Structure formats: structure tokens, C-alpha cells
Amino acid sequence: MAATTTTRSFLQVAATEEVATPLRVVQIEGLVILKIIKHCKDHSPSLVTGQLLGLDVGSVLEVTNCFPFPMREEDEEIEADGANYQLEMMRCLREVNVDNNTVGWYQSTLLGSYQTVELIETFMNYQENIRRCVCIIYDPSRSDQGVLALKALKLSDSFMELYRSNNFTGEKLREKNLSWVDIFEEIPIKVSNSALISAFMTELEPETPVTQCDYDRLQLSTSSLMERNMEFLIECMDDLSLEQQKFQFYYRSLSRQQAQQQAWLQKRRAENMARRTAGEEPLPEEDPANPIFKPLPEPSRLESFLITNQISNYCNQINGVSGQSFNRLYLMKALHED
């Protein structure tokens, strides 16, 4: 009997993929990237968000479509309208046979200032209904310098486990071996286009290989970008200093409480020695009702971790911009000498 080979369909693979394989790459169609860029640039410098739609199969998260969220304000009625808008949009996409499976969201940012508690809370809300989701971050201000500032982020599993317990004390962080670099994981992005679109883009490609993006990279003026990065970096340093002051106040209070406890224990022990000498029962050496024996709550280190992430991000951006500026200046100097 001849051996027959069976080829499983895409739906069969998706249905039998029960084991949670690690997410290796986010595959985005070129049209989706263009939609994200247009939405973020049209409303810049205001920050906008939108929904990502696609398929999650194996180690690849495919993003095949997206749609923007309407601009909303801090109002319950407006937020309810936004939720209704999302549901109605998903229903319309389903009717026209377009992927309507939510795989995350995208949002714009200003010079990489996206690492906030609000982003983490949004991730946790998505995780309640979606096994794996990502957030696509796009920075229009950096893209103006000739760089496609697009990245895909997710929360690390160890951080999500710790966030659910809401215990960011120093002891718990050391136990989990978690540092500020372990909060977010950046997933590589792969841009994918159909063969028909690739052929069409080849026909539209100009004869000259130089593009506008190449001209943007040659701009000598980067002072405004450097100044804004420095301003944000100084603000983050001030915020980090305030967080450190909270911990300094906590440790001073803890040291003061321990000194009060030792003084109280010495006094109680001296009193118990006198009671034993008089033939009386000694008193307990600890009194839970005494305020000095109540443990002081340790401040959460989550905010300081996020601020440290932001500082690292701004430092990397300053380093990259300054390095590219020096290269361009040396190039111009050589051209003038010639």
C-alpha cells in the first residue's frame, strides 16, 4: 500500500497548538505599518492608540490588520462610546471576512516615553482575555530623523507573575532575581507583503535608489532632538531622586522603630527580672498592640524600575543621536577640505 501523506490545514494547526510556545517574532504586513504611521503622524504630538488584528500561531504572531481608536477624554460616557466603537468595528470587519482576532494594540510615543504604569495595566487587562498579546510602539519624532522607530513589546512572564501578587519589595525582587531590565521584552518585527504587493512596489520604485529617508539621515541639525531628550532625562532624574527619598525616609523610620523596639525590650526585661525576684509571673516580651511592633510597609519599587528604564532609553537615544551627528560633521568637514 502506498504511503499517503496528509497535510494539515492552517485551522487544524491552530486548533491543536495547545502548548504555549515562546513568541519569537511579530510578523506585520506592510499595509498595517503604513496605517499605524499615518494615524500617529496625523495626530502628532498628541498620543493615539489603535487595535491590532491578526492570528497567533506557534511562535509567530501575525498582524494582518488594524484600526484606530477615536480620541477620547477622561469621561465615563466617552469611554463607553469607545468600547462600543471597538465592538461595532469588529462586527463590521467580521461581516466583510477580514481578520477580527485581537492580538494587541499599538500606540504612539514621544521620544520613547512609553514605559509607564498605565502601559503595564493595559497589558494585564489584555492578558485576561488574550493568551499572548503585544504592543506596537511608534515614535514619530524619532522617525523624522530617518529612522523607523517601530518596536513590539510584551511583558515578561516573571514580571507578570510578580505584578499579580503586587509585591515589589526588595526581598521579593531578589528572590525572583528580577531587575529593571526584566520588565519588558522586545520582540523582533518582520515586515511581510504578498507577492502581488511586492511586484507592484517594484514597479513603483524610482530609478534612483536614493529615498527621502536617506536625505533625512544627512540632516546636520539635531539640537532640538538632543534638547528634548536632555529635558526628559532631567525630569526622569528628578523623579528618580524623589523615589530614592521615599526609600531613605522608609529606612530612617525602620531604624527609628528598631531602636524603639530595643529600648522597649530592655525595659520589659528589666521589669521581668524584678517580677521574678518578687515571685510574680513575667510579662511577654512582645506586645502586638504596641504601635512600635507594627511592621512598616515598604514602598513599591515598580515606579523606580520604570523610571530607570526611561533613563536608560533616553541615554541610549542621546548616545545614538550624538554619534550620528559626529559622523555627519566629520563627513562635512572632509568634504569642505576637499
Using one digit for the tens of pLDDT, what is the confidence trace for 259-315? 888 888 888 888 888 888 887 787 777 776 677 778 888 888 888 888 888 888 888
**Cell numbers standing for residue 219:** 540632516
Task: Tell me if the bond preceding 297 is cis, omega within 30° of 0.
Answer: no
Domain boundaries, the chain: 20-217, 236-337
For residue 75, the model assigns a pLDDT of 53
Nearest to 300 by CA among 171, 160, 152: 171
Dmax over CA atoms of the chain, in Å, equals 106
Residue 102 near residue 127 (C-beta atoms within 8 A): no
CB contact at 8 A, 192 and 27: yes
What the block records as the C-alpha cell of 322 is 550624538
CA-based nearest residue to 269, from 256, 280, 282, 288: 282
**Residue listed under C-alpha cell 512598616:** 296
Strands 25-29 and 60-68: parallel
Q: What angle do CA 51, 52, 56 make, to 5 degrees?
A: 145
Task: Give the separation between CA 55 and CA 49, rounded to whole angstroms.
Answer: 20
Task: State the pLDDT at residue 176.
Answer: 79
Residue 187, number of CB atoms within 10 A of its CB: 20
- Which of 142, 110, 121, 136 is CA-nearest to residue 49? 136
Q: How far apart are CA 222 and CA 14, in angstroms?
A: 48
Is the pTM above the cut of 0.85? Answer: no
In which residue ranges of the chain is pLDDT below 50? 1-6, 14, 17-18
Asked if 123 and 157 count as a contact pair (C-beta separation under 8 A), the reply is no
Hey, how many other C-beta atoms are within 10 angstroms of the C-beta on 306? 21
Position 209 scores a pLDDT of: 63
- Cell triple for 234: 532631567
Q: Which three cell numbers stand for residue 228?
A: 528634548
Residue with cell 502506498: 2
CATH 1.10.260.40 fits 20-217, yes or no: no
pLDDT in tens, 179-207: 888 888 889 999 888 888 778 777 777 66
The pLDDT assigned to 136 comes to 92
Place of cell 507592484: 200
